[in-house]
Amino acid sequence: MKYSGWPETGDLVVGKVDEITDFGVFVDLEEYEDKRGLAHISEVASGWIKNVRDHVREGQTVVAKVLDVKEGSEQIDLSIKDVNEHQRKEKIQEWKNEQKADNWMLLALGEDVDDETYGAVANALLAEYDSLYDAFEEAAIHGEAALDEADLDDEEIEAIVETARENVSVPYVNVTGYVDLECPSADGVDAVKEALKAAEGNGEIPNEIELSVSYVGSPEYRIKVRAPDYKTAEKELEASATRAKEAIEAVGGSGEYHRERREDDE
C-alpha cells in the first residue's frame, strides 16, 4: 500500500536511489505514490564528499529523514546522513512489515479487490491501529474482538482474522477455553481430579507451551494456553479439553468443552 499524500518534516522514509548527480541524489519514495525526494550532496554522508557514488549507488534502498516538504513545487528535501544505523534497521523492518500486511490484505479481500474497497478497509484498520501490520497481528492474537471497534462488516472481519491467523507469526499468543466436568459416582471428586491431571498433560506438554487449568465454579474449569503461535495454542487447548473429557467419561462422568464462560457463572 502506498500513501497518496505527502510525508511530514521529520519523518523517516524508505526510498530507492533513482538518479545520482554531482549535486546530490534523487530518491523515489517507496511508501508514497509518485513522490520523489532529493538528498543534497551535503546530506548524503558526513564529511567532505569527493564522489557521491562512493556512498550510494543507483537502485539502492535507503532510509532518509525528511528535512522539508514544499507541496506547491512538489519538492521534498531529504537527508541520508541524519539517519543512524538503529533507525535505518528499525524503519526497514517497519516497511517490510507493511509490505507483508499489504499482501495479507489482498489475501483477505481477494487479488481483484478494487482500490475503493481496499482503501475503505485499510482506513478502517488504520483508524484503530498505527499500521496495517499491527491490525493483523492483533487480529491473529485476539480474533474478532480485536476488530470490534473497526468500521467493517462481519464478512470483512472474518476474512481478516482468518488470514491473520494463517499468516501472522507473533512471539506468543494466549488462548482460553472452558471444560465442564461432572461425575455422579461416590468417588466423583477423585475422578474430576484425575481428569484435571489429564487436561494438564501429565507432565508431557512441550517445553514451548504453557498450559494451566483452574477452577471457575462447579462444574466449570478454565484452561489457559500460551504458545508461540495461534494454531499451536488452539491445538493444545482442544487436546487438553479432549483429554479431560475422555478421562471423566471413562469412569461414567460427563465432560463438555466450550470457548466462552457460562453466563450464570459471571
Same domain, 195 and 159: no
Residue 234: is it exposed, middle or buried by C-beta count within 10 angstroms (0-12/13-18/19+)?
middle
The last residue of a domain, from among 83, 105, 122: 83
Coil/strand/helix, residue 14: strand
Verify that 150 and 107 share a domain, yes or no.
Answer: yes
pLDDT of residue 41: 95
Residue that terminates a domain, selected from 83, 113, 132: 83
- Identify whether the C-beta of residue 14 lies closer than 8 Å to the C-beta of residue 27: no
| E strand intervals along the chain | 12-20, 24-29, 36-40, 61-70, 75-79, 173-182, 210-217, 220-227, 254-258
Q: Which domain holds residue 132?
A: 87-167
Is the residue at 199 inside a domain?
Answer: yes
Q: Do 58 and 97 have their domain in common?
A: no
Query: What's the burial of 266, exposed, middle or buried (CB within 10 Å: 0-12/13-18/19+)?
Result: exposed
In a domain, 27, yes or no: yes
In DSSP terms, 257 is beta-bridged to 179
260 and 207 within one domain: yes
Q: Examine residue 1 and state whether it is found in any structural domain, yes or no.
A: no
Tell whether the torsion through CA atoms of 265, 179, 222 and 163 is positive or negative: negative
Are 92 and 75 in the same domain? no
Handedness of CA 152, 153, 159, 165 (dihedral sign): positive
**Domain CATH code at residue 237:** 3.30.70.1130
Query: pLDDT 10s per residue in the chain (266 long)?
Result: 677 789 999 999 999 999 999 999 999 999 998 999 999 999 999 988 989 999 999 999 999 999 999 999 999 999 999 999 999 999 999 999 999 999 999 999 999 999 899 999 999 999 999 999 999 998 988 889 899 999 999 999 999 999 999 998 877 888 999 999 999 888 889 999 999 999 998 777 877 788 999 999 889 999 999 988 888 899 999 999 999 999 999 999 999 999 877 655 44
- Looking at the structure, tell me whether residues 260 and 181 fall in a common domain: yes
- Cα of 30 vs its chain's centroid, Å: 21
C-alpha–C-alpha distance, residues 13 and 66, integer Å? 7
CATH code, domain carrying 41? 2.40.50.140
C-alpha grid cell, residue 192: 474430576
Q: Is residue 94 part of a domain?
A: yes
Is 78 inside a domain boundary?
yes
Residues 35 and 56 in one domain: yes
Is 2 a domain residue?
no
Among residues 138, 167, 196, the one where a domain terminates is 167
DSSP structural state of residue 147: G
**Total domains, the chain:** 3
Are 201 and 238 contained in the same domain? Answer: yes
Instruction: Report the phi/psi class of residue 10: left, alpha or beta, with left for phi > 0 and alpha for psi in -120 to 50.
Output: left
CATH number at residue 113: 1.10.150.190
Residues in Cβ contact with 2 at an 8 Å cutoff, skipping those fewer than 6 apart: 30, 31, 32, 33
User: What pTM value is reported for the model?
Assistant: 0.62
Is 4 contained in some domain?
A: no
Q: What gap in Å lies between CA 77 and CA 149, rounded to an integer?
A: 38
User: Residue 263's pLDDT is what?
Assistant: 56
- Cis upstream peptide for 206 (omega within 30°): no
